[in-house]
Structure 1
Amino acid sequence: MKFLLSASLLALSTVAAVAGDCPKATVADMQGLTSAYPQQFELAELEKAASCALSFSENPDIAALNARILGNPEKLPAVADRLPAEPLVVAPYEEIGVYGGVLKGMSNATEAGTSDLLSVRHVNLVRFSDDLVTIVPNVAKSWKWNENFTELTMTLRKGHKWSDGEPFTAEDVAFWYNDMTMNSNVVEKPRDLWTSGGEPIEVVAVDDVTVIFKMKEPKPGLLSNFATDYAQPFQPKHVLSKYLPKYNPDADKLAKELGFETGYDVIKFYYNGSDWKDVPSPLFKDEEKAKKLDHAVLPTLESMIVVKDTTEDRQVVANPYFFQVDTAGQQLPYINELHEAYIPDNEVKILKMVNGEVDYKAQSVSLPDAPALLDGQEKGKYTVELRPQIGLPTFSFNVTDNDEEKRDLFNNRDFRLAMSHAINREEINHVAYFDLGEPKAYIAFDPVPPFATEEQVKFATEFDPEAAKSALDKIGMVDKDGDGFRDLPSGNKFTLNIQFSTQGMATSVVELVAQNWNDVGVETKIKEVTSDEYRAAQSANELDVMAWTRGQPVAVMQGSAEELIPPFSTYFGLRNGMLWSQWMDSEGKEGIEPPKWVFELKDLITEWQSYLPGTEDSNKIGARIIDLLNDSYIFIGTVQAPNPIYHSNALKNFETPKTWSYEYYRTYPYRSTQWFFAKD
């Protein structure tokens, strides 16, 4: 009997060991565990590897945070019921975190310079791991390509919920695409990202957790775009569909009851015709009207949700239904809130950073700001690190300028080459970038890919003011009125007016280039404006000169040709050829017909996207794209230099990004959901 009792106790103890707590693995100490993808586990994967059962716990403040989310049910289910049946398990970098605190940040305005903090809470179907090479699951649990990269099947997480507790399913992905993105009443012109071979992709929800993206031509880069893009390929059908006539015949009647004219007006109040997430939120547009809706802001899958948005600041709080946990079973994020102050003045921003009033900042901070920031590190209790920038400060003359005489000049390649040779890039590197930069031509791809040659990278970057003057003379730009500056070939006075935003380019760079152009006799004046003002004027075809950073990694270019098809970027980048774009969109009914090379470039980038990067065909066409960009030469590169990344010393599990990069979406690869604040 004694032997039988001992055997029973041994069996029970073995079961307890198997079903015990899981190892609290961190990247610093994985405790012997390995996973299919770096730094994270699927729940079943962790439990099998460690012979354990993970139990879940929650932020003790989560009920109070939930109460601030307008439209959320007051009573929260238990944390295990809020999580998906298949949550993503995250291994923190250094240690298991503690809950609480407010992350303090700054942006320029409600939709200007906000990528820093959007990236802190951003999610997508997949993401790049912090090696910037490996794509790993995120909202999606897994994916699978067909053999020729024309069909991508995504498998979502069973039991995943929106931030209001409603189910998130494949129908929300199909709804985003078929009823929002491809509905011209909502989005006037879908992005190139959602096309293949010039045709819209097809999105089909197979069941609750399976969605298929079907393409006309191979597009292996679609996956990498999901990993980096600010657009989120899902929208809450349960909230928005009631305002669409397709789903609700009384959509307009419902809208009128809420103070809107039509259901589409409600959609635009939420969605604003764009997949950029932080267009002014309903709370910003009209807080009283927003409060009449079921949800004052749209439910989200992100780690945090907006609860306040004014002209002064935005506040977001932890999503009580967020789908990630750490290896101790604690629901993420650790941090309770994020407060985003709107500070458009760069000097004020830098002063606040020096005083230690910010916890994280990178966007709109450039290398010329580094000396002041570095000097204040000890007193301000923060750290500043320099990282390589993706994207090259670039100038471009408006080739569809509304002034026909200017337009003719700006379309003259000899003029553009002369203005490039007038730029003293070594001086820019020395004065603005402390000799830490490198003069470069714009070649579209950044970092420089293996198929680019040194000659291509340095094309037309030589400083040769005498050659520039001679070329301008030959064009007929001479000083005819004796005021010391060159006039247009007709004799009319000519002044270049550069409007710029510090979000897109450092002031010192613009000042130096303007002086270089003045030195060769082209009168140039500069004016700093907000990024909103710059973008609005650029999109309205009102600028003489565009000034912003350009260049994208091969992985991003593989999924989207937007940078190489007029107007050569989205609203948020350096755009040119607005009237070329209008001509192409209207099939020649409006705008100005582009030159032949524009169509050649469009065909090349479309063909290039059908090949896997690194293959012989891909490299060959990539090199031809660069040659064509140099031959057309409408984008003038300057100097590429590292930029500062700032973070509070109290912010733990912070991994400094490998690049200063909007293109990899700032902190997104570095898992900011596991940041936490050290306890005093």
Structure 2
Amino acid sequence: MKRILLSGVALVLLPGAVLANCPNITVADMQGVSAGAYPNQLELSEFQSAASCEMNYSENPSIAALNSQIDGNGKLASVADRLPEEPLVIIPYASIGQYGGTFNALSNATEAGTSDFLSTRHQTMFRYSDDLQTVVPNVAKSWAWNDDFTQLTITLRKGHKWSDGSAFTSADVAFWYNNLMMDTNIIENAKDYTLAGGEPMVVTTPDAQTVVFDLAAPKPGLIETFSASFIQPFQPRAFLGQFHPDINAGADALAQAAGFESGYDVIRAYFGSSDWTDTPTMMFIKPNEVDNLPANTMPTLESHIIIAEDAEGRHMVANPYFHQVDTAGNQLPYINEQDERYVPDTEVRILKLINGEVTYKAQSVSLDNLPILLDNADAGNYSVDVNPGITMPVISFNVTSEDLAKREIFGDLRFRTAMSIAMNRDEINEVVYFGLGEPEQFTGITPLPEFIDAKWKSHETGFDQDRANALLDEIGLVDADGDGDRDLPNGDPFVLNIQFSTQAHSAQLMEIAAQNWVDVGVASVVKEVTSDEFRSAQSANQLDVTSWGQGGTLGVSMGSNQWYVPPFGTYFDTRTGMLWAEWVDSDGANGVEPPEYVKGMMVDINILQSSAPGSDGQIGAGQRLVEAMASNLLFLGTVKASEPVYRSNDLQNIVQFKTTSYDFYRTYPYNPSQWWLSE
């Protein structure tokens, strides 16, 4: 006999009895239904068993109209036929939502300040729950490792469909790996997360719902990659495969009929030529080329799909085949549409926020914006949460500068030490972060695990102008011409070319750091640029000084080597040692050979990634990596501070985040598919 509370009334079920409708439980009110294996979600069979009910499905009353706007989609079947055989049941935080409304998003540019919005519709195999500790199923129904982390088996949901209604199967995962990530015509160099022990994985598909990753070396961090990043390890084989020469012998002819030179060109137009999932959708930019192609954007598993895009922004509508339902059987998402506008000017973005024109924003909203946001919150009908961050702004010097005289200076640890202790981090904390932050050195892994000495967080962070001056004198940076500024040892003026983007951090931070350096005789020219300009100049090895938000959890380092292998970041991060990276990529044939401590980090990151969590191998490698990164000051840490999250008061079922962090993929742990708009 089972007892369930429904709206405060005790209902006793006899053994074998089943409710016609399932109880509409929420996280706030579980109505006596037992929690499942994972926080805030259950598999359908698990939910029906726990609640002794049989779920009936409902759909958004506007879904047919929304579907009609998706290029390439046909007439919709019933919602039960559109959902997987066992959809994922999401337990809403506070309430069963109402369908409708438009989520208004604000980004800096096409690929700048967009990831917090992308995360609201993002989907991958797994995700972290909101406790930021538990990895939970999502697109995948389950997974299993073998004993030594060399084989990962993933089970998908039977009947899961892409946004155009075509079947999503294990073949789409194998296609992503074998035909996109491992094809040098698309991805020139294999990403480190697609390798294990430096070798490609073997991806097999025993059946339509099973994918097996066989690894040449243990890599337990692969789960992290598939849980807490923008990477989506699946792509629509039926859609893109028709343009892939290895799958369709007529791929090039098909592409040429649409005005492209080859099938690869079509794939790059749809998929891009990197693993970043938020690039502009080329078919909207070239509408004349769409007529002979299947659709103007490829199918997705995300909660919303792009239906329009131009230089000003993008518009999305709800995915009619999305794989999640709430506890009342309503297909998610609740929100009908998403609209993203690009606003490169910081002051204009802030104006839109205080006017209440935005539904949610975290990225590119810095703590120095907090006073004006709080002052206008009531009038703008929004709230601002302040959450701890994981990353912090870091500053690096171009250790492989094309200017050989500067390269020698930047490569000298005494110079990097002088510049670190010349920075007044306490002033930065007070002025930029209202004293709410903590001055720290960059250690690579943040927060530091217990097995790593906390001393590295404060390494060479003390403000000491006298010692900084002495170190600069020692390496020959003296004022040779008496103009008050230090000159290079060869007598040429020494001026730092500093470019930065406010997507990464406050302008005040860089202005204070630059003034601190001027105070010890190092002339600095500071210029704010767009993130695209910054990334382009950095990648071309044109900058003296780079800066961005940087850092990641131990789990991130277990899945990605980017902080420890030149150039120590992706195109979207701050990087240094571009010519060291060229040397590594060419096996020493080109570029500049990196120093031994860098080679040591490259060895240790492989040990860390191939070691079982908590093992001696992982602990030893982690300790060595942090010591090498912090002691050599490749990246100067500044201040780790809390960060604001802006949210409209009309946005329901949103809870305060435990961290404002890219590392768990921003909103992803908080189930934005169950957010809804009250007006």
Normalised to the residue count of structure 1, the TM-score between the two structures is: 0.96
Q: Which residue of 2 aligns with 1:53?
A: 54
Query: Could you tell me which amino acid in structure 2 is paired with residue 672 of structure 1?
Result: P
Give CA-to-partner distance per residue, 1:398-420, whole Å, 9 cap, x none: 11111111111111111110111
Q: Please report how far the alpha carbon of residue 549 of structure 1 lies from its aligned counterpart in structure 2 after TM superposition.
A: 1.2
Shift in Å, 1:70: 1.0
Q: How does 1:522-601 map to 2 (within 5 A)?
A: 522-601=522-601
* Structure 1 partner of 2:484: 484
> What is the alpha-carbon root mean square deviation over aligned residues?
1.3
Indicate conservation of the 8 Å contact 1:70/1:291, yes or no: no
Distance verdict in 2 for CA 1:414–1:236, change over 3 Å: same
Supply the distance in 2 between the matched residues of 1:291 and 1:320 (Cα, whole angstroms). Answer: 24
| Residue type of the alignment partner of 1:38 | P
User: 2:8 is matched with which residue?
Assistant: none
Q: Deviations over 1:364-390 (max 9, x none)?
A: 111111111111111111100111111
Aligned: 1:36 with 2:37:
yes
Q: Which moved more, 1:16-25 or 1:552-561?
A: 16-25
Distance 1:89 1:161 in 2: 16
CA distance in structure 1 between the aligned counterparts of 2:631 and 2:339, rounded to whole angstroms: 47
Q: How many residues align?
A: 666
Q: Determine the structure 2 residue equivalent to 1:143.
A: 143
Q: Does residue 116 of structure 1 match 2:116? A: yes
Name the amino acid aligned to 2:104.
K
CA positional deviation for 1:314: 0.7
CA contact (8 A) 2:257 2:292 kept: no
Seen in structure 2, the aligned counterparts of structure 1 residues 153 and 16 have a Cα distance that, compared at 3 Å, is closer
Q: Distance in 2 between matches of 1:133 and 1:169?
A: 28
Q: Secondary structure at the match of 2:173?
A: helix
Structure 2: how far apart are the matches of 1:547 and 1:630?
16
Q: Distance in 1 between matches of 2:15 and 2:286?
A: 58
The separation in 1 between residues aligned to 2:447 and 2:291, in whole angstroms, is: 46
In structure 1, what is the equivalent of residue 664 of structure 2?
664
Q: Which runs of 5+ in 2 are unaligned?
A: 1-12
SS state at 2:433 partner: coil
Question: What's the secondary structure of 1:227's corresponding residue?
Answer: coil
Give the C-alpha shift of residue 43 in structure 1: 0.7
The equivalent of 1:494 in structure 2 is 494
Query: Does the 8 Å contact 2:653/2:674 carry over to 1?
Result: yes
Structure 1 stretches of 4+ with a deviation exceeding 4 A read 13-17
**Amino acid of the structure 2 residue aligned with 1:51:** S
Task: Kindly state the Cα deviation for residue 329 of structure 1 after the two structures are TM-superposed.
Answer: 0.3
Q: Indicate the SS of the match to 1:372.
A: helix
Task: Give the structure 2 partner of residue 71 of structure 1.
Answer: 72
Q: Quote how far apart the aligned CAs of 1:616 are.
A: 4.2
2:401 is the counterpart of 1:401: yes
Q: TM-score, normalised by structure 2?
A: 0.96
Structure 1 counterpart of 2:122, which letter?
H
Is this contact kept in 1: 2:459–2:631, CA < 8 A?
no
Please name the residue that 2:274 is paired with.
274
Structure 2 counterpart of 1:650, one-letter code: D
| Corresponding residue for residue 194 of structure 1 | 194
Q: Could you tell me how far apart the structure 2 residues matched to 1:568 and 1:155 are?
A: 34
Aligned to 2:629: 629
Partner of 1:401, secondary structure, is coil
For structure 1, the 5+ residue unaligned runs are: 1-12
Is the CA contact (8 Å cut-off) linking 2:389 and 2:661 kept in structure 1? yes
Q: Distance in 1 between matches of 2:489 and 2:369?
A: 40
Deviation at 1:611, TM superposition (A): 2.4
SS in 1 for 2:493: coil
Structure 1, 130-139 or 466-475: larger mean CA deviation: 466-475
- Residue 126 of structure 1 aligns to which amino acid in structure 2? F
In 1: Cα distance, 2:346 partner to 2:291 partner: 34
Query: What is the CA-CA distance between 1:19 and the residue it aligns to?
Result: 4.5
Q: Secondary structure of the equivalent of 1:238?
A: helix
Asked if the contact 1:290–1:297 (Cα under 8 Å) also holds between the matched residues in 2, the reply is no
Range with bigger deviation, 552-561 or 320-329: 552-561
CA contact (8 A) 1:400 1:578 kept: yes
Q: Secondary structure at the match of 1:490?
A: coil
Q: Which residue of 2 aligns with 1:8?
A: none
- What is the match of residue 288 of structure 2? 288
One-letter amino acid of the counterpart of residue 422, structure 1: A
Q: Is the 8 A contact 2:92 2:326 kept in 1?
A: yes
CA pair 14-623 structure 1, distance change in 2 beyond 3 A: closer
Equivalences for residues 389-538 of structure 1 within 5 A: 389-538=389-538
Cα displacement (A) at 1:15 = 9.9
Deviation at 1:224, TM superposition (A): 1.5
- SS where residue 428 of structure 1 aligns? helix
Tell me the SS of whatever aligns to 1:127: strand
Percent identity for Structure 1 against Structure 2: 53
Q: Look up the equivalent residue of 1:18 and give its one-letter code.
A: V
Report the Cα offset of residue 213 of structure 1.
1.1
Match of 1:337 in 2: 337
Are the aligned partners of 2:269 and 2:283 in contact in 1 as well (CA < 8 Å)?
no
Mean Cα deviation higher: 97-106 or 246-255 = 246-255
Residues in 2 aligned to 1:612 and 1:507: alpha-carbon distance in whole angstroms:
42
Between the aligned partners of 2:14 and 2:505, the Cα distance in structure 1 is: 63
Q: CA deviation at 1:449?
A: 1.8
Cα deviation, 1:141-200, whole Å, max 9, x if unaligned, reads: 000000111111000000000000000000000000000000000111121111111112
Which residue identity lines up with residue 238 of structure 2 in the other structure?
A: H
Secondary structure in 1 matching 2:120: helix
**Counterpart for residue 324 of structure 1:** 324
| 2:422/2:465 contact within 8 Å kept | yes
Task: State how far apart, in whole Å, the 1-side matches of 2:660 and 2:124 are.
Answer: 20
Distance change (3 Å), C-alpha of 1:672 and 1:163: same
| Pair 1:372 & 2:377 matched | no
Q: SS of 1:467's equivalent?
A: helix
Corresponding residue for residue 643 of structure 1: 643
Deviation at 1:620, TM superposition (A): 2.9
Q: Shift in Å at residue 610 of structure 1?
A: 2.1
Q: Deviations along 1:467-511, whole A, 9 cap, x unmatched?
A: 111111111111112221111110011110111011112111001
Once the 2 structures are TM-superposed, how far is the Cα of residue 17 of structure 1 from its aligned partner? 4.9
Bigger mean CA deviation after superposition, 103-112 or 449-458: 449-458
What is the match of residue 175 of structure 1? Answer: 175
Matched residue, 1:4: none
More deviation, 630-639/422-431: 630-639
Alpha-carbon distance, 1:252 to partner: 1.2
Q: Over residues 52-106 of structure 1, what are the superposed CA-to-partner deviations in whole Å (9 max), with x where a residue is unaligned?
A: 1101010011011111111111x10010000011100100000100000000110
Could you tell me whether the CA contact under 8 Å between 1:142 and 1:154 is conserved in 2? yes
Alpha-carbon distance in 2 for matches of 1:342, 1:675? 23
Partner SS for 1:432: helix
Summarize deviations over 1:281-311 as a string: whole Å, max 9, x none.
1244312323541021010000000011111
How far the C-alpha of 1:649 sits from its partner, in A, is: 0.6
Residues 413-439 of structure 1, C-alpha deviations (whole Å, 9 max, x = no match): 111101111000011011111111111
Report what 1:3 is aligned to. none
Whole-angstrom CA distance in 2 between matches of 1:286 and 1:447: 45
In structure 2, what is the Cα distance between the partners aligned to 1:584 and 1:290? 41
Correspondence 1:224 to 2:224: yes
C-alpha contact (below 8 Å) 1:102/1:337 kept by paired residues: yes
Aligned equivalents of 1:480, 1:165: Cα separation in 2: 72
- Alpha-carbon distance in 2 for matches of 1:141, 1:594: 44
Q: Which deviates the most, 457-466 or 593-602?
A: 593-602
The equivalent residue for 1:132 is 132
